[in-house]
Copies of this chain bind each other. A is one copy, B any other.
Amino acid sequence: MSILISEVGPRDGLQNVSAIMPTEAKKDWIKAEAAAGIREIEVGSFVPAKLLPQLADSAEIVAFARTIPNLVVAVLVPNARGAADAIRAGAHKITLPLSVSETHSLRNLRRTHVQVIEEARTIAGMISALPEDDRPHFEGSLSTAFGCTLEGSIPDSQIASLAAALMDAGCDEVGLSDTTGYANPVSVRHLIKLVRGTVGQNALTGIHLHNTRGLGLANVLAALEEGLDTIDSSLGGLGGCPFAPGASGNIVTEDLAFMLESMGLDTGVDLDKLFAVRSIIANALPNEPLYGFVTDAGIPLGFESRTGKAVLSA
């Protein structure tokens, strides 16, 4: 079985890093990680450069990433204006977050649910006006789905109706996002069933989980068992000190890839090459801590990578 690891470090990771990563280093990172076998990378976000100087070069990064064969170039957009920029830049996949907590939505995007759904409708209209071959894939991401730091848990009915509203507005699919690190294996299963029961099985294939409370990979296992096949993660857990309030605490790509490969699942990833990508980030952002258990502990003796290569480190 094949699982898609969707690397979000160049967007979600860097978004939480104050030191600006040079554009060339970002390109090196994306190129090296694609060469290690990662097939989808969220490379930037189309927000005003003033608000997020770290991602001001997103258009240039998208243009570069598009030159890498077989790489799905994904971006985040906060609204229709950002989506127009993303489409102009040539992104293959566009994700619009919709916080199922309206309090969080108002604070984060300064928009009500109705307003965000309206943005989704506008974006879907822009996409459908494109020639068929140029249309990016459009995902609506249900953020704070597993609970909100402001509202606590969000009612099932609200999550289901927002998922349906995103699909009605013209999204190709919805995603589940544990923005706050509140998910557990039972709630992961529950929400996948709930949302799939509302929008259909093919309209929910991916999940964005955090390791804020140490449950990241256990939650991945639950998601896999429910049949999802796309998992977000960030190389080195970049930007996510799990111990700092507000930090992302993304799942570490290296640990995720190791778990999946050790389970006999096909990620297409060469673990040694993937681990080597860390040095690009470490050199460009020397003050940024990088996380990862398997990178420190080493690959088990006798571990046979799915890449067909025996890896024999400690």
Q: Residues of A with Cβ closer than 8 Å to B?
A: 147-153, 180-182, 184-187, 211-215, 217-218, 220-222, 242-243, 245, 249, 252, 255, 258-259, 262-264, 292-294, 296-297, 300-302, 314
Contact = CB atoms under 8 A, between A and B. Distances in A.
A266 to B, nearest CB: 13
Given A185-B263, A255-B215, A258-B213, A243 B296 contact: yes
A298 to B, nearest CB: 8
Given A215-B258, A243-B293, A249-B297, 13 more contacts: A148-B301, A181-B300, A182-B300, A184-B263, A186-B262, A212-B297, A213-B258, A213-B294, A213-B300, A214-B293, A221-B221, A242-B297, A243-B297
A147 B302 contact: yes
- Residue among A243, A252, A262 with most chain B CB within 10 A: A262
Contacts of A182: 300
Contacts of A292: 214
B147 A300 contact: yes
A215 B259 CA distance: 7
A161 B74 CA distance: 51
A293 B217 contact: no
A259 B218 contact: yes
Nearest to A189: B263
SS class of chain A's interface: helix, strand, loop or mixed? loop
**Copies of this chain, count:** 2
B149 A301 contact: yes
A214 B255 contact: yes
Contact of A217 (B150, B217, B258, B296): B217
A211 B180 contact: no
Contact of A147 (B180, B221, B264, B301): B301
B294 A263 contact: no
B211 A293 contact: yes
A297 B255 contact: no
A214 B301 contact: no
Contact of A245 (B258, B294, B314): B314
A214 B212 contact: no
A294 B218 CA distance: 14
Contacts of A294: 213-214
A16 B185 CA distance: 31
A300 B180 contact: yes
B217 A220 contact: no
A228 to B, nearest CB: 15
19 contacts: A147-B302, A150-B301, A152-B300, A153-B302, A180-B300, A184-B259, A184-B262, A185-B221, A185-B259, A185-B263, A186-B262, A211-B293, A213-B297, A214-B293, A215-B255, A215-B258, A242-B296, A243-B296, A249-B297
